[in-house]
Amino acid sequence: MIGRNHKILSSSHHPAKFWINFWNVLKTANIFRGEVCNKSKNGELFWIDITVYPNTNEQGKLYGFTAVSLDITEKKLSEIKSQHVEKLASIGELAAGVGHEINNPLTISIANLHKLKSSLSRPDKDPRTIDNCIEKIGVANERIKKIVSGLKVLSRSDKDNLDEVNIAREVHQALDFIREIYTNEGVSIQYDSPINCDFVVMANPGKFHQIIVNLFSNAKDATEKKIDRMIKIRVFERSANEVVLSVSDNGSGIPKELIPKIVEPFFTTKEVGRGTGLGLGIVNSFVKQFNGKLEIDSEVGVGSTFNVVLPIFKKVENK
């Protein structure tokens, strides 16, 4: 490395926005902590958990950086396998509900298509009947489109690239996908988000969507024995540089002594066969990859709140 530019280690795995965020953190004399994919001199890729400290003189002027890194390649490969298992479990859990949700609008669309065909073959065509059929077919097809769009989001690439992610947009996409499924199971969803602006964070879009789906699914399962099942979702600004995605439920709650354990791989409070024990562990892992933290507050018999706290990359004013 002596006399050479450190960019020779670049794997080209991370997008330009990742490095823009990297330097924005360091140039403001803050500490950067994250996972980086680099290239060894034989061309193989490897992963490091890196912490970069800014060096300042007595006058507070920045003059360089110190980096400490740990090779986590084996850990990353293990995580990828666990994430794949959990993703398959999530898709399997939703499959029956999705099939039912697509079947309903499809039946409406087919019935109105037959009715439209019959109306058009008549000599005394009724314009109102024709318009009504076309409108119902359009509404049904739009519903199917939203469900398919949700499936496409869930199956997005598992690459680790970080990109700009609009939190409100991701939550809306997830809600479009699961709202009717949850409603049919007796779960009421309340969503509260800022009106004036949206918050953008640096994250992997596919993994961020999986965070949302896992938290929603966990909240739904927690309320299973409640009559008035409720999930509350909030997005709010905690400070000038932090945004919070909060998912609360009025479920059974978690004993205080178990809260530190529920993010451990394969630990679950669900009945045998009801969970993999990977969901919250993966959520916690993803949140850390995005330089954030997962906060858990719970009371037995009252419910639980899971807060995903992430650094704000930028704010987008709503027009």
* Burial class (CB within 10 angstroms; exposed 0-12, middle 13-18, buried 19+) of 115: middle
Q: Is position 173 within any domain?
A: yes
Q: Are 32 and 162 in the same domain?
A: no
| CATH number for position 49 | 3.30.450.20
| CATH number for position 188 | 3.30.565.10
Taking the C-alpha atoms of residue 173 and residue 149, their distance in angstroms, rounded to an integer, is 8
Contact 30, 20 (CB under 8 A): no
Task: Write the CB contacts of 182 (distance below 8 Å, at least 6 apart in sequence).
Answer: 189, 216, 220, 231
Q: Are 195 and 64 in the same domain?
A: no
Q: Is position 149 within any domain?
A: no
Please state, in angstroms and as integers, the Cα–Cα distance from residue 136 to each residue in 83, 117, 139, 140, following that order. 40, 14, 5, 6
Q: Is position 203 within any domain?
A: yes
Give the mean pLDDT per block of 10 residues along the chain (319 residues).
Answer: 78 82 82 87 87 87 89 82 62 57 78 88 85 87 70 53 87 82 88 84 86 88 89 90 93 86 63 53 84 91 93 84
Q: Are 301 and 179 in the same domain?
A: yes
Provide the β-strand partners of residue 34.
50
Distance of alpha carbon 276 from the chain centroid: 18
Q: Is position 249 within any domain?
A: yes
Taking the C-alpha atoms of residue 223 and residue 289, their distance in angstroms, rounded to an integer, is 29
Q: What is the pLDDT of residue 189?
A: 93
Q: Are 26 and 168 in the same domain?
A: no
Q: Are 185 and 284 in the same domain?
A: yes
271 secondary structure, DSSP code: P
Domain coverage including residue 61: 6-71
Q: What is the pLDDT of residue 5?
A: 80
Taking the C-alpha atoms of residue 107 and residue 104, their distance in angstroms, rounded to an integer, is 5
Q: Of 71, 87, 109, which closes a domain?
A: 71
Instruction: Count the domains in the chain.
Output: 2
Q: Of 50, 71, 92, which closes a domain?
A: 71
Q: What is the pLDDT of residue 45?
A: 86
Q: Break the chain down into helix, strand, coil percent, rounded to 5.
A: 45, 25, 25
